[in-house]
Structure 1
Amino acid sequence: MGFGGDLKYSHDALLKLQDWELRLLETVKKFMVMRVKSDKEYASTLQNLCNQVDKESACQLDYISNVSKSWLLVVQQTEQLSKIMKTHAEDLNSGPLHRLTMMIKDKQQVKKSFVGVHQQIEAEMYKVTKTELEKLKSSYRQLIKEVNSAKEKYKEAVAKGKETEKAKDRCEKATMKLHMLHNQYVLALKGAQLHQHQYYDTTLPLLLDSLQKMQEEMIKALKGILDEYSEITSLVTEEIVNVHKEIQTSVEQIDPNSEYNDFIDTHRSSEVVEQEIEFDTSLLEENENLQANEIMWNNLTAESLQVMLKTVIEELMQTQQTLLSKEELVLELEKKIEESSKTCEKKSDIVLLLSQKQALEELKQTVQQLRCSEAKFAAQKELLEQKVQENDGKEPPPVVNYEEDARSVTSMDKKDKVSRFDTIRHSIAGIIRSPKSMLGSSSFFDVISTTEKPLADQDWYHGAIPRIEAQELLKQQGDFLVRESHGKPGEYVLSVFSDGQRRHFIIQYADNQYRFEGTGFPTIPQLIEHHYTTKQVITKKSGVVLLNPVVKDKKWVLNHEDVTLGELLGKGNFGEVYKGTLKDKTPVAVKTCKEDLPQELKIKFLSEARILKQYDHPNIVKLIGVCTQRQPIYIVMELVPGGDFLSFLRKKKDELKTKQLVKFSLDAASGMAYLESKNCIHSPAVKFYHGEYACDV
C-alpha cells in the first residue's frame, strides 16, 4: 500500500491531510511554547518560595529542632528542583521546540513543492490529452467541409465545361491538406495515449510516492522530537527522583516523640514550692468576734447561710449534670476519632482529624474545669451543711459586743428618675402630632428576604434584627432564636444563651442542606426542630443545647403583600417615604430603608423603630407595623395627609388667629409631655402635628 498505487485520484484528500498535519504541528508548537513558559514560571515560583522562607527563617530557635532541620533540607531540595526545572525549560526551548519550528517550515515547503509539481504535470497532461487534440479535431472538421465544397465546385465546372482544371487543382490541394492533418491527428492521438498511460502509470505515482516518503520522514522526525520532549519533561528522571528521595529522607527523620526533648531541656522549669493559700489572720487583729476558717452562725447570718447552702447545692447539681453530659461527649468523640482513624488511607489523612482531636482536648479541659468547680462546690456545701446541722433546731445566738452606730440611718436607695436621651439624635422615635401628619424620617427592621414561607412563619425567627438586640432577648439558659446576619445578608444565624454567654452560630448551607456540623436538613425549620426536640448539641465543641425558643412580637408583623405603595411623599434620613394603602383600604405612610446603608445606620434605624412601638398617645403618630420578609423593609405608620407645617404657617400666617396658634402649642406640649413621661428627650428633629400638617419642634 502506498500513495502512488492507491491515491492517484485523491489529490484533494492529500491536500487536506497536509493542511491537517500542519495545524497539528502548530498546535504541538504552541503547546511546547506554553510548556516552556510554564516550567520557567514554576521554577521561578519555587525559587521565590525558597527566598521567602529564607527571610522568614532568619530568626533562629535557641534549641535544636528536628522539624526545622528537616524543613531546611526540604527547602534546599526544592531550590535544587527549581534549578532543574529551569534547565529543563531551556533545553526544551533550544531542542525539541527549535527543531519543531524548523520542521514546520520544511513541511510547508514540501506542501508547496508538491502542489507546484502536481499543477505542472497536470497542466501538461491536460494540454496533450485535451487542448492539442481539440485543436486538431476542429481543423479536421473544417478541412472536411473545404474538401466537400471543392468536390462540388469541380463537378459543377465539369458539367459546365468551364475552368475544369482550375477546380480540379483546388480540390486536390484541399484533399492533400485533409490527409496531412489526418496523419498529424493520428500521430497526436498516439502521443496523447502514451502520455496519459505514462502520467497515471509513472509520473503521478512517482510524485505521490515521493510525497509519501517525505511525509514518513517528517513523522520520523516528529517522533524524535516528541521522544526528546518526553525525556526532558519527565518528572521521573534520576536528578528529580534524587531530589524527592532527599526530601523523603528528611521527612522520615522527624520523630514526634523526641521532637521537643531539646526544647524541654532548654526551658525546663525550676522547682518552685507552691505557697499554701491561708486565711489572713491580720484581718482579725481589730475584731475578736470573728474566727479564722470558721463559718459564723448567729442571728445575723442564720437565714443567709440557708440561702447560701441552697444556692451552692443548686450550682453543684447543675455542675454535675453539665459534667456528666460533657463526659459523655468526650467518650462519643473519642469513639468517633478512633473509628475515623481506621478509615484513613494515607498518612496525611490524619490532618482531617486534627480539628476533632483539638475539640476533644478542649472538651477534656472543660471537663477538668467542671471537676474543679464540682470539688469547690462540694467543699463549700460540706462546710455549710456541717455548720447548719450542728445548729439544727437551735436558736441563733445574738451577736455579742456589737454596738450599733447611733449615727447610722436607714435610707432607701432612690432610683433617680433621669430622662433618657434618645440615642439617635437626628431621628426621634416618637412623633408628636395633632391629629395626624406625615413623618419626615424614620427607620425599621432590616430583615431577610426568603422564598421559604415556613421559616418566616416560625415564632422563633426574628428576621434581620441586629446582633445586639438579639442578645438582649436571650436571658435564660437555652434561650434561642434565628435571625438573618447583618454582616452577610443571605446567611442565617442561630443565637443562643448558654453557660452565661450569648453564642452565635452561622447556619451552614451546602449541597442543598442546612446544618451546623452534623446531619443536614432541607430546611432551616427542620434543622432547628431536630436540635430542639432531640436536645442534640449544636456543635460538640460548644456543647450548646436548645431549650427555650424566644418568640417574636407578632403584633407588629406585616407582609409586603399587605401594603400597596402609592406616590412618593418625600425622603428621610434612611430612605424614601411613600403614601400607601393596606388591604382594608386604610391609608398609611410607608417608610423604606436603603439597602446599601452602612451597618451602623441600619442599627440606629432599627433601634428607632423598636422605640416607636412603645408610644401610644393622641398626639403621637402610631406605628402600624413592619414588613420584614424581604428587601426593602417597610415601616408602616398612620398617614398624616398634610404637608410641612412650617410652609403652611408661612402661607397662612396672616389668616391664623391667636386661638388657633394656642391650640397648635397645646398639641405640641401634650406630645412633648408624653415623651418626657417615657424618659425620652426629643431633639430638634422631632416633629409635632396639628390638623393635617407637620412641623419641627
Structure 2
Amino acid sequence: MGFGGDLKYSHDALLKLQDWELRLLETVKKFMVMRVKSDKEYASTLQNLCNQVDKESACQLDYISNVSKSWLLVVQQTEQLSKIMKTHAEDLNSGPLHRLTMMIKDKQQVKKSFVGVHQQIEAEMYKVTKTELEKLKSSYRQLIKEVNSAKEKYKEAVAKGRETEKAKDRCEKATMKLHMLHNQYVLALKGAQLHQHQYYDTTLPLLLDSLQKMQEEMIKALKGILDEYSEITSLVTEEIVNVHKEIQTSVEQIDPNSEYNDFIDTHRSSEVVEQEIEFDTSLLEENENLQANEIMWNNLTAESLQVMLKTVIEELMQTQQTLLSKEELVLELEKKIEESSKTCEKKSDVVLLLSQKQALEELKQTVQQLRCSEAKFAAQKELLEQKVQENDGKEPPPVVNYEEDARSVTSMDKKDKVSRFDTIRHSIAGIIRSPKSMLGSSSFFDVISTTEKPLAEQDWYHGAIPRIEAQELLKQQGDFLVRESHGKPGEYVLSVFSDGQRRHFIIQYADNQYRFEGTGFPTIPQLIEHHYTTKQVITKKSGVVLLNPVVKDKKWVLNHEDVTLGELLGKGNFGEVYKGTLKDKTTVAVKTCKEDLPQELKIKFLSEARILKQYDHPNIVKLIGVCTQRQPIYIVMELVPGGDFLSFLRKKKDELKTKQLVKFSLDAASGMAYLESKNCIHSPLQEMSKSGAGL
C-alpha cells in the first residue's frame, strides 16, 4: 500500500492532506510556545514567592523552632523547583520547539517542491502527447493539400506542354516536405507513446512514493520531537507522572509506516484505462504512398534521416552523460545522509536531516526524468537505425514517376486558372471614438538598472515579449536583452546580436544558481552583470560577448502591480477585457491574453499594442501601456465610458439629434482619415461601409 500505486489520480486529496498536516504542526507549535511561556512564568512566580518569604523571615525574631526549620526546607525546595521549571522551559524552547519550527519550514518546502515537480511533469506530458502532436498533424494535413495541388498543377503543365520542369520541381519539393514531416510525426509519436507509459508507470508513481517517503520521514521526526517534549516536561509527582504516561503512550502509538493507511483507503484512485497514443490514420486518407508508423526512406528523405539519426545519437549521449553524473550525486548524498544519521544523539535530531533527504528525493526525480528521456531517444535511435541499416548501400527510390503522370494527363481536359490574392490588413477593434470620451494617460519613472533590483525592474528585461519582436530590437554587434520564453513559460532567454545573427540562449537554473555554462549566480541580474562587465563569453562555442543592453521603451512599460482589475466588460479574441484602475486613480480598459493560447496568437495579441504605439489622435483610443513582465500579458488602453459606438447609436437612436449625429460622423471620419494617412485599414469599419451599416 503506497502513494505511487494507489494515489495516481488523487492529487487534490494529497494537497489537502499536506495543508491539514501543516495546520496541525502550527497548532502543536503554538501549544509548545504557550507551554514554554507558562513554565517560565510559573518558575518566576515561585522564585518571587521565595524572595518574598526571605524578606519577611529577616524581620522575624531570632527564635528558631522545628516548624521554622521545616518551613525553611519547604522554601528551599520550592526555590529548587523554580530552577528546575526554568531549566525545563529553556530546554523545551531550544530543543523540541526549535526543531518543530525547522520541520514546519521543511514541510512547506516539501509541498512546494511536490507541487512544482507535479506541474512540470504534467506540463511535459501534455506538451509531448497533445500539443506537439496536434501541431504536427495540422502541418501534415496542410502539406498533403499542397502536394495534391502541386501534382494537379504539374499535370496541367504537362498537358499544356510548357513550364513542366518548374511544375515538376515544385511538386517534388512539396512531396519532400510532406515526407520529412511524416518522419518527424512518426518519431514524435514514438516518443509520446513511450513518454506516456513512462509517466504513468514510473515518473508519477516515483514522485508520489517520494512524497510518501518524505511524509513518513517527517512523521518520524515529529514522533522524536513529541518524545523529547514528553521527557522534558515530565515531573516527579504522581499525578503529573500519570498524565505524562498517557502522553508517552499516545506518542508511542505514532507509526510512520501505517500513518497513511486510512488516508490511502479513503482516497484510493479508481482504475482508469489509459488511452494508447496511436498514429492518426485520417492523415493518410488523401495520400496512399505514406504508411502509418513507418519511416519513409526515399530520394527525398534519405539525407535528412542521416541528419536526424546523428542528432538523436548526440542527444542520447548527452542525456546519458548527465544521467551518470546525477546518479553519482545520488550515491554521494545517500552516503552523506547515512553517516549523518549515525551521529544523531536524540530522536528529534532527524529533523536536521530533512532538508538533505528532500534534496535527495528531488535529485532522484531528476534522475527518473533523465531515464525517461534516455529511453525515448534510444527508441527513436533504434527506429532510425533500423531504417538506415535496411537500406545501407541501396539507391534511394524516387517518390513520384513523373513520366507516368505526364502520360496520364494527356487525356485530361485543360482547366481554367484560378488566381487567389490574400489581403493583409491590420485590425484594431474599437479604436474610433468621439472626443468626449478622452481620458488622460499615465506617466512613469525611469528605473536605474542595478543588480540589487529584481529582474522585472531591470532596464534590459523586456518581459514576455515574442521572439520575433525581440529580434527586431537587436540591431548591432553586442546588443542584448533578457525576456521570458513564450514556448516554455517560467524560463528566461538571453537574446543577443552577434556576427550578423540573432542568437538566443536559455538561462539555465539548477542548484539555486543561474548560469549559461560557467559560473553560477543566485539571481539573473547578477549573472548578466557579470558577463556584461567582465566581457566573458556566454558560451565557449558561441563566443558571444555582451556589449550594449537594449533598454525597454519605458514610455509604454507598466507593471502588473500598477493595474487593479475591476468589473468584466466583455470577452475578446484573445481573452477577457476588464475595467481597471491605475495607481493615480485613472480608469482604464485592460485587455488580457489567455496564458494557454498558442504562441502565434500571443504574438498577434501584442502586435495590436505595437500598432497602437504609432497613433496619437483625438479620435483614436490611446494606448496607455503594456504589462509584459509576467503572465498573463495586459494591454492597458484608454477607457471609452460610452462603450461600443454602434451599440450606443442603436440604443440612443430615438434621443440623438441630427446635429449630434453629424458631429459623430465628423469625429469618426477624422479618425478614419488619420488611419488612412498611416496606411492602416480598420477592418470593422470597412465591413460596415460595405454592408451599408456605417455612418
TM-score between the two structures when normalised by the length of structure 1: 0.37
How far residue 587 of structure 1 moved from its aligned partner, in angstroms, is 1.2
Q: Distance in 1 between matches of 2:395 and 2:376?
A: 29
- The 1:177–1:527 alpha-carbon spacing in structure 2 relative to 1, beyond 3 Å, is closer
Secondary structure at the aligned position of 1:497 is classed as: strand
Q: 579-588 or 315-324, which moves further after superposition?
A: 315-324
How far residue 658 of structure 1 moved from its aligned partner, in angstroms, is 2.4
Q: 216-225 or 130-139, which moves further after superposition?
A: 130-139
Secondary structure at the aligned position of 1:179 is classed as: helix
How far residue 283 of structure 1 moved from its aligned partner, in angstroms, is 55
Contact kept in structure 2, 1:465 and 1:484, CA below 8 Å:
yes
Q: Distance in 2 between matches of 1:637 and 1:96?
A: 56
How far residue 507 of structure 1 moved from its aligned partner, in angstroms, is 0.6
Q: 673-682 or 147-156, which moves further after superposition?
A: 147-156
Aligned to 1:482: 482
Secondary structure at the aligned position of 1:531 is classed as: helix
- The 1:347–1:520 alpha-carbon spacing in structure 2 relative to 1, beyond 3 Å, is farther
Deviation by residue 1:149-205 (Cα, 9 ceiling, x = unmatched): 999999999999999999999999999999999999999999999999999999999
- The 1:65–1:316 alpha-carbon spacing in structure 2 relative to 1, beyond 3 Å, is farther
- Runs of 4+ displaced beyond 6 Å: 1-424, 438-452, 691-697
Contact kept in structure 1, 2:155 and 2:409, CA below 8 Å:
no
Contact kept in structure 2, 1:461 and 1:552, CA below 8 Å:
yes
Q: Distance in 1 between matches of 2:150 and 2:484?
A: 115
- The 1:443–1:308 alpha-carbon spacing in structure 2 relative to 1, beyond 3 Å, is farther
- The 1:382–1:63 alpha-carbon spacing in structure 2 relative to 1, beyond 3 Å, is farther
Structure-to-structure mapping, 1:279-428, within 5 angstroms: 425=425, 427-428=427-428
Q: Distance in 1 between matches of 2:305 and 2:41?
A: 77
How far residue 588 of structure 1 moved from its aligned partner, in angstroms, is 1.1
Contact kept in structure 2, 1:329 and 1:540, CA below 8 Å:
no
How far residue 645 of structure 1 moved from its aligned partner, in angstroms, is 2.7
Contact kept in structure 2, 1:3 and 1:205, CA below 8 Å:
yes
Q: 675-684 or 73-82, which moves further after superposition?
A: 73-82
Aligned-pair identity (%): 98
Q: Distance in 1 between matches of 2:352 and 2:9?
A: 67
Q: Distance in 1 between matches of 2:190 and 2:284?
A: 147
- The 1:563–1:36 alpha-carbon spacing in structure 2 relative to 1, beyond 3 Å, is closer
Q: Distance in 2 between matches of 1:441 and 1:366?
A: 49
Contact kept in structure 1, 2:216 and 2:256, CA below 8 Å:
no
Q: 154-163 or 277-286, which moves further after superposition?
A: 154-163
Q: 460-469 or 212-221, which moves further after superposition?
A: 212-221
How far residue 259 of structure 1 moved from its aligned partner, in angstroms, is 62
Q: 306-315 or 522-531, which moves further after superposition?
A: 306-315
Contact kept in structure 2, 1:428 and 1:682, CA below 8 Å:
yes
Aligned to 1:693: 691
Q: Distance in 2 between matches of 1:364 and 1:508?
A: 19
Structure-to-structure mapping, 1:503-518, within 5 angstroms: 503-518=503-518
How far residue 652 of structure 1 moved from its aligned partner, in angstroms, is 2.8
How far residue 394 of structure 1 moved from its aligned partner, in angstroms, is 67
Deviation by residue 1:321-376 (Cα, 9 ceiling, x = unmatched): 99999999999999999999999999999999999999999999999999999999
- The 1:435–1:315 alpha-carbon spacing in structure 2 relative to 1, beyond 3 Å, is farther
Structure-to-structure mapping, 1:416-565, within 5 angstroms: 425=425, 427-428=427-428, 431-435=431-435, 454-565=454-565
Contact kept in structure 1, 2:613 and 2:623, CA below 8 Å:
yes
Q: 203-212 or 58-67, which moves further after superposition?
A: 58-67
How far residue 654 of structure 1 moved from its aligned partner, in angstroms, is 3.1
How far residue 651 of structure 1 moved from its aligned partner, in angstroms, is 2.9
Q: 124-133 or 366-375, which moves further after superposition?
A: 124-133
How far residue 221 of structure 1 moved from its aligned partner, in angstroms, is 40
Contact kept in structure 2, 1:330 and 1:363, CA below 8 Å:
yes
Q: Distance in 2 between matches of 1:229 and 1:3?
A: 30
- The 1:69–1:198 alpha-carbon spacing in structure 2 relative to 1, beyond 3 Å, is same
Q: 5+ unaligned residues in a row in structure 2: which ranges?
A: none
How far residue 543 of structure 1 moved from its aligned partner, in angstroms, is 0.7
Deviation by residue 1:198-252 (Cα, 9 ceiling, x = unmatched): 9999999999999999999999999999999999999999999999999999999
Contact kept in structure 2, 1:445 and 1:626, CA below 8 Å:
no
- The 1:3–1:542 alpha-carbon spacing in structure 2 relative to 1, beyond 3 Å, is closer
Contact kept in structure 2, 1:84 and 1:240, CA below 8 Å:
no
- The 1:173–1:428 alpha-carbon spacing in structure 2 relative to 1, beyond 3 Å, is closer
Contact kept in structure 1, 2:513 and 2:521, CA below 8 Å:
yes
- The 1:390–1:40 alpha-carbon spacing in structure 2 relative to 1, beyond 3 Å, is closer
Secondary structure at the aligned position of 2:307 is classed as: helix
How far residue 503 of structure 1 moved from its aligned partner, in angstroms, is 0.6
How far residue 473 of structure 1 moved from its aligned partner, in angstroms, is 0.7
- The 1:152–1:24 alpha-carbon spacing in structure 2 relative to 1, beyond 3 Å, is same
- The 1:266–1:378 alpha-carbon spacing in structure 2 relative to 1, beyond 3 Å, is same
- The 1:500–1:316 alpha-carbon spacing in structure 2 relative to 1, beyond 3 Å, is farther
How far residue 306 of structure 1 moved from its aligned partner, in angstroms, is 49
Deviation by residue 1:46-89 (Cα, 9 ceiling, x = unmatched): 99999999999999999999999999999999999999999999
- The 1:158–1:133 alpha-carbon spacing in structure 2 relative to 1, beyond 3 Å, is same
Aligned to 1:90: 90
Contact kept in structure 2, 1:443 and 1:635, CA below 8 Å:
no
Q: Distance in 2 between matches of 1:200 and 1:394?
A: 41
How far residue 575 of structure 1 moved from its aligned partner, in angstroms, is 1.1
Q: What is the total number of aligned residue pairs between the two structures? A: 691
Q: Distance in 2 between matches of 1:281 and 1:11?
A: 34
Q: Distance in 1 between matches of 2:410 and 2:144?
A: 157
Q: Distance in 2 between matches of 1:172 and 1:306?
A: 20
- The 1:465–1:238 alpha-carbon spacing in structure 2 relative to 1, beyond 3 Å, is farther
Q: Distance in 1 between matches of 2:120 and 2:269?
A: 99
Q: Distance in 2 between matches of 1:592 and 1:35?
A: 51
Deviation by residue 1:587-613 (Cα, 9 ceiling, x = unmatched): 111111111111110010011111111
- The 1:60–1:326 alpha-carbon spacing in structure 2 relative to 1, beyond 3 Å, is farther
Contact kept in structure 2, 1:154 and 1:168, CA below 8 Å:
yes
- The 1:656–1:134 alpha-carbon spacing in structure 2 relative to 1, beyond 3 Å, is closer
Deviation by residue 1:10-56 (Cα, 9 ceiling, x = unmatched): 99999999999999999999999999999999999999999999999
- The 1:56–1:424 alpha-carbon spacing in structure 2 relative to 1, beyond 3 Å, is farther
Q: 58-67 or 663-672, which moves further after superposition?
A: 58-67
Deviation by residue 1:473-510 (Cα, 9 ceiling, x = unmatched): 11111111111111001111111111111111111111
Deviation by residue 1:310-331 (Cα, 9 ceiling, x = unmatched): 9999999999999999999999
Contact kept in structure 2, 1:443 and 1:591, CA below 8 Å:
no
How far residue 464 of structure 1 moved from its aligned partner, in angstroms, is 1.1
Q: Distance in 2 between matches of 1:306 and 1:280?
A: 25
Secondary structure at the aligned position of 2:197 is classed as: helix
Q: 595-604 or 187-196, which moves further after superposition?
A: 187-196
Q: Distance in 1 between matches of 2:683 and 2:146?
A: 127
Contact kept in structure 2, 1:438 and 1:694, CA below 8 Å:
no
How far residue 455 of structure 1 moved from its aligned partner, in angstroms, is 0.9
Contact kept in structure 1, 2:432 and 2:672, CA below 8 Å:
yes
Q: Distance in 2 between matches of 1:188 and 1:364?
A: 26
Q: 262-271 or 218-227, which moves further after superposition?
A: 262-271
Contact kept in structure 1, 2:431 and 2:620, CA below 8 Å:
yes
How far residue 648 of structure 1 moved from its aligned partner, in angstroms, is 2.7
Secondary structure at the aligned position of 1:433 is classed as: coil
Secondary structure at the aligned position of 2:693 is classed as: strand
How far residue 670 of structure 1 moved from its aligned partner, in angstroms, is 0.6
- The 1:399–1:238 alpha-carbon spacing in structure 2 relative to 1, beyond 3 Å, is same
How far residue 660 of structure 1 moved from its aligned partner, in angstroms, is 1.9
